A and B are shown apart, each in its own frame.
Chain A
Amino acid sequence: MATIVDIFEEKALEVKDFEFTYAGADAPSIKKLDMPIAKNSITALIGPSGCGKTTLLRSFNRIHDLYPGNKYAGEILFKGENILLPKQDLINLRIQIGMIFQKPTAFPMSIFDNVAYGMRLQGIKNRTELQDRVEKALKDAAIFEEVKDRLKHDANGLSGGQQQRLCIARAIAVEPEVLLFDEPTSALDPISTAGIEELVVELKNRVSIIIVTHNMQQAARVSDYTGFMYLGELVELGRTEEMFVTPREKLTEEYITGKFG
């Protein structure tokens, strides 16, 4: 059973008895997982390849549903409701729980249109409102100054780090409550990485953040809570400063000290 520390804050999400089986697989990839996610905090998910951290992350916005045959079991509670139920409105869910991917995914359109995309999907057409919110999102993503003169230019002209900030701006423009980051800096150089990490820490005032990372130092730098997963199970969830110094589980200690993974 996992060792989970007590969370002071309110919970943004709560995972209960969660199980996930990929289409056509014999056994579940995630087994009987319980995990609280603290509000307005950053929870990092770490663990060796194949431990299920990305699988878990992608369950929070049910992006697994795009590929038929995947099966969820158990509960993930968001605002009191279990979002794993078939009746869950996925479009509504994804507006409230956004996602940033491993590689920057700028859409084939202008910088402005990229950031405005989510808002336009919701039917916001008012020019002024769009402009204001796009500007705010770009500022919040700390990229406004760099692109303010070329908002109409194709987003693909931006560098990798800039594109990732753009994706973050795009995600926060719809004012979500939770942001899921799937190894957001793995395709970036160290300087861009540092910038993104800074940004993520700033954002936690507005959103609750879950970040999957294979880089333990990043987890240590950035997060408030860290969850260590292994072979589809949560081994330990603790406050980051404590866990990296005095982990409670032997397995956690072995992973953190580099004995495997």
Chain B
Amino acid sequence: MTHTQKRIVVNKIIMVLSSLSALVGLGFLFWILGVLVLNGIDALNWAIFTNEGAPPGYEDSGLKHAMIGQLYIVGVATLFGVPLGILAGTYLSEYGQKAKLAEIIRDISDIMMSAPSIVIGAFVYAIIVAPMGHFSGWAGSVALTIIMLPIILRTTDDMLNLVPSTLREAAFALGAPKYKVIIQIVYRGAKAGILTGVLLGVARVAGETAPLLFTSFNDNFLNTDMMEPMASLTVTMYNYATSPYEDWQKLGWAAAFILSMFILGLNIIGRIFLLKKRGK
């Protein structure tokens, strides 16, 4: 066999192998999604949305407490994390730019994005839960806010940076002060991108379990008092699925399904926004 013939054979083998890997990858994807959808839909019923949690074996227990708790915790985190993240990202893109300090903040944010979230939970435990003496929804929200900040910061920084400098210059040339240039011109120009960043940040944070384990902890009943421990879909999922009770395990799958649909939905909407922006 000539060398070239050998090359052609090797090429073919590698291509087959990578197609196989792709198939394996897709296979796991379908397996996990399939399991999620089948079990989730099987466990879904109206009671899930209307009823609160109950001890195992209890008929008609639901997830209302977990869903509302999740909404509160993630909602509050978003309320704080998004404006703070956007403002911090604004500093980086509009004021700091390539300065050493700004680069340091970017680097640290990048690293934080991949850092273990359970450690954030331990931190918030130390500064909020321990002094308060008990778990609380606030503690959970704070933990999620800390996780969300670097994500929103970086995407805002990147998206604002995409706005052409000529746009800013034109506004300055008309005599606008810097804060107006930023708020009225730059933000507007980067609107879609920032929104996408927010959606993706919320999606990422909504799926977190570990940082909630020792901050908001859990609750089997509906509780809207952020000062008390609060249920969340993620922690509920964890508790129910690892319990030995079949009806609780079923609820766990229902929770998983509901949460995944929410997160995937946010991701898809975020992508559509990004595509729309690129298409402009």
Contacts and interface: CB of A to CB of B under 8 A. Distances in A.
Whether the complex brings A and B within 8 Å at their CB atoms is answered yes
Interface of A: 91-92, 121-123
B4 interface: yes
Contacts of A92: 4
B3 A123 contact: yes
Majority-rule SS of B interface residues: helix
A91 to B, nearest CB: 6
B8 A123 contact: no
A122 B8 contact: no
A221 B212 CA distance: 75
Contacts, number: 12
12 contacts: A91-B4, A91-B8, A92-B4, A121-B3, A121-B4, A121-B7, A122-B3, A122-B4, A123-B2, A123-B3, A123-B4, A123-B6
Interface of B: 2-4, 6-8
Q: What 9 pairs across the A-B complex have the smallest Cβ distances?
A: A123-B3, A91-B4, A122-B3, A122-B4, A123-B2, A123-B4, A121-B7, A121-B4, A91-B8
Contacts of A121: 3-4, 7
B108 to A, nearest CB: 31
A173 to B, nearest CB: 16
A161 to B, nearest CB: 32
Contacts of A123: 2-4, 6
A92 B8 CA distance: 12
A165 B2 CA distance: 30
Chain B CB count within 10 A is highest, among A92, A122, A123, for: A123
Nearest to B7: A121
Contacts of B4: 91-92, 121-123
Nearest to B2: A123
A125 to B, nearest CB: 8
A123 B3 CA distance: 5
A122 B5 CA distance: 9
A121 B6 CA distance: 10
